[in-house]
Amino acid sequence: MMNENQPEGKKSKALPIIIAIIAVLVLALIVVLAINKAPKTENIPASNQTGEEMEEGDVPPIEEDVTMTEDGEERELTVEEQRLEEAVEVVTGANLVTEDDVVITKTGEETRTDVKSSDPLAPKQTRPIDNPEELSAEVIKITMSTGSIEPAEFTVKAGSAVSLAVTSADKTHVFKFKDPILKAVGVGIMGGETRAITFNAPETPGNYEIFCDIPGHEARGEAAVMIVE
């Protein structure tokens, strides 16, 4: 009896210990899995997002990857996108100018001055400017009024990006160039308004005549000259 019961007594004592050991092992396993899983879920999307092979220990912070994805930097930027990134707005609302002095459209294409003013590549006049006195010094200020355009002449560098701010001192006037190479450049203004336009000057030096494109206005003296050097 004693001999038969003894092993059973040992078994009944050993069982809780075995269960406890198994429980500890299972807990340990869960902890190990949890620890391993955490960095893995971070690593997998990180490398997937960039689509690049990354060396171990070379994992950039997640925030950077998200920014990269949102900014579309997985691929190389197009010429237009590069231009837009580096471009400067000389006058608020006017076309942007690149570091190479090229006037571009909102989509980063080079503007053209020899197209109709309605053409998508034509430089666009701004809306009326609220505080024209705050325009930067590089903006050429022109005033149109009955019988005159002031200054009567001004000089720009061939091919350079030119910003003009045209103000009407009295009634409606329309600033235009005569040479078809500048037919896209036009500014229409009502009395008291100032609007601006940014465009590339012609590459060919010379005198480019300016006039008011309202019938009768040029004849009464609304004319000027842009000298390209």
In the complex, the smallest distance separating the C-beta of residue 89 from Cu ion, rounded to whole angstroms, is: 28
In the complex, the smallest distance separating the C-beta of residue 213 from Cu ion, rounded to whole angstroms, is: 8
Q: Of the candidates 217, 224, 225, 226, which one interacts with Cu ion according to CB under 5 A?
A: 217
Phi/psi-derived region of residue 202, left when phi > 0, alpha when psi is between -120 and 50, beta in every other case:
beta
In the complex, the smallest distance separating the C-beta of residue 220 from Cu ion, rounded to whole angstroms, is: 8
For residues 97 and 91, give the distance between their C-alpha atoms in angstroms, rounded to a whole number. Answer: 10
In the complex, which residue's CB is closest to Cu ion?
212
Peptide bond into 151 cis (omega under 30): yes
- The answer to whether the beta carbons of residues 121 and 163 sit under 8 Å apart is no
Q: Of the candidates 222, 224, 225, 226, which one interacts with Cu ion according to CB under 5 A?
A: 222
Q: Which stretch binds Cu ion (CB under 5 A): 78-86, 126-134, 153-161, 210-218?
A: 210-218
Phi/psi-derived region of residue 72, left when phi > 0, alpha when psi is between -120 and 50, beta in every other case:
left
- Nearer Cβ to Cu ion, position 142 or 212? 212
In the complex, the smallest distance separating the C-beta of residue 173 from Cu ion, rounded to whole angstroms, is: 3
- Nearer Cβ to Cu ion, position 121 or 214? 214
- CB neighbour list of residue 143: distance below 8 Å, 6 or more residues apart: 149, 150, 166, 167, 168, 169
Q: Which stretch binds Cu ion (CB under 5 A): 4-12, 39-47, 103-111, 170-178?
A: 170-178
Q: Of the candidates 173, 176, 183, 195, which one interacts with Cu ion according to CB under 5 A?
A: 173
Q: Does 212 bind Cu ion (CB under 5 A)?
A: yes
Among 52, 82, 45, 38, which residue's Cα sits nearest to residue 66? 45
Task: Name 208's bridge partners.
Answer: 226
Q: Does 187 bind Cu ion (CB under 5 A)?
A: no
Q: Does 195 bind Cu ion (CB under 5 A)?
A: no
For residues 72 and 143, give the distance between their C-alpha atoms in angstroms, rounded to a whole number. Answer: 44
Q: Which stretch binds Cu ion (CB under 5 A): 78-86, 150-158, 173-181, 189-197?
A: 173-181
Return the sign of the alpha-carbon dihedral for residues 177, 180, 181, 186: positive
Question: Which of the residues 90 through 129 are near Cu ion (CB under 5 A)?
Answer: none
